Amino acid sequence: MAESGKSARFRLGVDVGGTHTDLVLLDSTTGETRVEKVSSTPGNPSEGVLEGVRRFLAKGVGAEEISFFAHGTTITTNALLEMRGARVGLMITQGYNAVQETQNQARDGNPFDYFYDRPTPIAPQSRTHEIPERTDYAGNVLVPLDDDAVRKAAKALDAAGVDAVAVCYMFSYMNPAHETRTRAIINEVAPRLHVSLSSDVLPRIREWPRLSTTLVNAYLAPVLTRYIRDLSRGLDGLGVKTPQRFLMQSNGGVMPFAAAETGEKTVHTLLSGPAAGAQAAAWVARASAGAGLVTLDMGGTSADIAFIEDGVPLEVTEGAVARRQVDVPALDMTTISAGGGSIASVAPGGFLTVGPESAGAQPGPACYGRSGEQPTVTDADIACGYLNPDYFLGGAQKLDVAAAERALDARIATPLGLSVREAATGIRRIVDERMADEVRVFAAKRGLEPRAFTLLPFGGAGAVHAAAVAEELGIARILVPPRPGAFSALGLLCSDVVHDYIRSELSPLSRLAPEHAEELFAELETRARADLASEGLADADASLEREMDLRYAGQGYELRVSLEGIGAMNAAALAAARARFDEHHARIHGHAAAEKPVEVVSYRVRARVAVPKYKARELPAHTGPAPAPKGRRQVWFDAARATDVPVFEREAIGRGGKVKGPAIVEQMDATTVIPADWDGEVDAFGNLILTYRGPAR
């Protein structure tokens, strides 16, 4: 996707986190990057984004020179976590109003918990309307749609003050006509209501996941569309009028604002923020010949973990966010409440705990000096000497060490009979072990061995805690990117435009007519091309990737099988798909059943449009003296004693520069802690590579 115009010079990536909003500006003419970090504005996240843009403009960047804007956000995730979405009504096939209540047999935690309490329904029975209509499994109409019932329901929901309506009819993925007609009637009767159709949001089998995903989409669509419109107006007001405005999706690709504004793809943004960091890690991995990486994105409120194999993030098509079933393609990630703002407290039994509550951006950790009184992980870090109170965000924000120590003393140390240093090191140990345990469990579920991977920490706090986490896991190599604090924002400059399409239709593979399979794929590809055209993207720039969801007959789950290189559907192509499925099943589950019949469950198409990306520049060879510390600082690696360590400026360590631990490396957006038994060296692309040299573990 080419950029045009003499002024097309800068590409801007923005990541909105719980504490800070990070902006990375790439000069496409020189390859230089600039970084800004501003406090997030939870009340209206667009205000923090626009403030960051203003800072670039104040430093001489022309608004008309910004030719590309990509944005990762947690606005939909936070709205779902905090249940701040729209008021939703539901229209469902007559006789099936209990699907939302019944759901399925899945339970969080203990499956034998008789007192398990399901999440509060997004559309309660008082706002659920049964509509006379029925389509069978093959898409044949058994009961025509009752238009009058739809009109009556739409008027009732409008009068009840709902903002959005979810429509989920039986087997609508086989024949969406009734849902499409329902939307037309709602638009006629109550045009202010947003409508989410299951045949648009998730046209695939299994009633509860399809209904749940559609409900979540309806719940969040007004939130996202309102935010995108506010942000667009703000950018226009600043003179940043590029039509190339994109939003990160959970699948690691971006979509144009135009696609987000319709609300149909809202549910695809639930992991928008974390996905950007994983995508940046994948870009680093590909540049490093496909190195295996495990990411540790530790920000202000949480830590996100992902594995990158062969330069590609692991991906899933089913999952849950805030206990809500959401079955759309997403990068395979896990998140725990372990961020710099995670609050430490003493549990009733006298135990020290960390999280899940976070101080967020307002008031933030006690050391921020914004009236925060709760001690956090960041307060523990500064009390241990890891952070420089005069160099936080490059000196733009001063940290109050005394306030951090007072909070630690009053809330943790005194109640537990500890010193402030013991309280601080205890908090760090708890949060480090929690992150390491999460990596272990996440890896075990996927048959991976963490020791075989390189740890890639980023986020504001990732590099502060990385070495401790690596030692817990037995990982001997850490890669700290040049701008770890803004790494997720950089990921937005490393992503393609990606749209996913799916259509379920069950059929034995042996009886599937190749021409019918080709017809189904062609339908999805036609829809993909139409969407790209409506978003102003050239069809000639798009690549279309096909997949099938296959399973052995009788199985309750299926596997995605890529059809890359197979070509148009014919008998040979279907045989090749079957062979790939057997191989994939053996790799994932340890066995295959080549003698068993296979069923096709769904057809998938991924449309990808490449955009110009960030390219890491090789640093010039360093010919000067070894890097010299800019100072020294007392650091408590344990509570028993302080260690006097050298402090280095990251930018002063050139290519090939070496730093022997213990040491601290500081930069504007992050701090890297190098304990004893670790050595650091800057590689050709400015990455700080830490290597463990201590005793065998």
- Taking the alpha carbons at both ends of the chain, their separation in whole angstroms is 49
Token pair recorded at residue 87: 């008021």
**188, 153 Cβ separation under 8 angstroms:** no
Which pLDDT value is given to residue 2? 45
pTM equals 0.85
- Cβ-in-10-Å burial (0-12, 13-18, 19+) of 235 comes to buried
Give the pLDDT score at 4.
43
Together in a domain, 599 and 519: yes
Report yes or no: 364 and 341 within 8 Å, Cβ to Cβ.
Answer: yes
Same domain membership, residue 349 and residue 384: yes
Stretches in the chain below the pLDDT threshold 50: 1-6
In a domain? residue 490: no
676 lies in which domain range?
Answer: 631-692
Q: Residue 3: its pLDDT value, please? A: 46
Q: What is the amino acid identity at position 679? A: D
Final residue of a structural domain among 429, 449, 482 = 429
pLDDT at 290: 57
596 and 636, same domain (yes or no) = no
Report whether 370 contacts 399 (CB < 8 A).
no
Q: Which two tokens stand for residue 302?
A: 């949480």
Burial of residue 269 (number of CB atoms within 10 Å: 0-12, 13-18, 19+): buried
Any domain includes 508 = yes
Q: How many domains does the chain have?
A: 4
**Four-point Cα dihedral 501, 507, 513, 516, nearest 10:** -30
Residue 55 counted as domain residue = yes
Domain boundary residue among 233, 254, 269?
269
**CA 359, CA 177: separation in Å to the nearest integer?**
48
- Say if 336 falls within a structural domain: no
Which H or E run includes 65?
Answer: none
Give the β-pairing of 663-666 and 671-674: antiparallel
Residues 596 and 641 in one domain: no
Q: What's residue 5's pLDDT?
A: 45
Are 505 and 601 contained in the same domain?
A: yes
Do 594 and 653 fall into the same domain? no
Structure tokens at 79: 């709205």
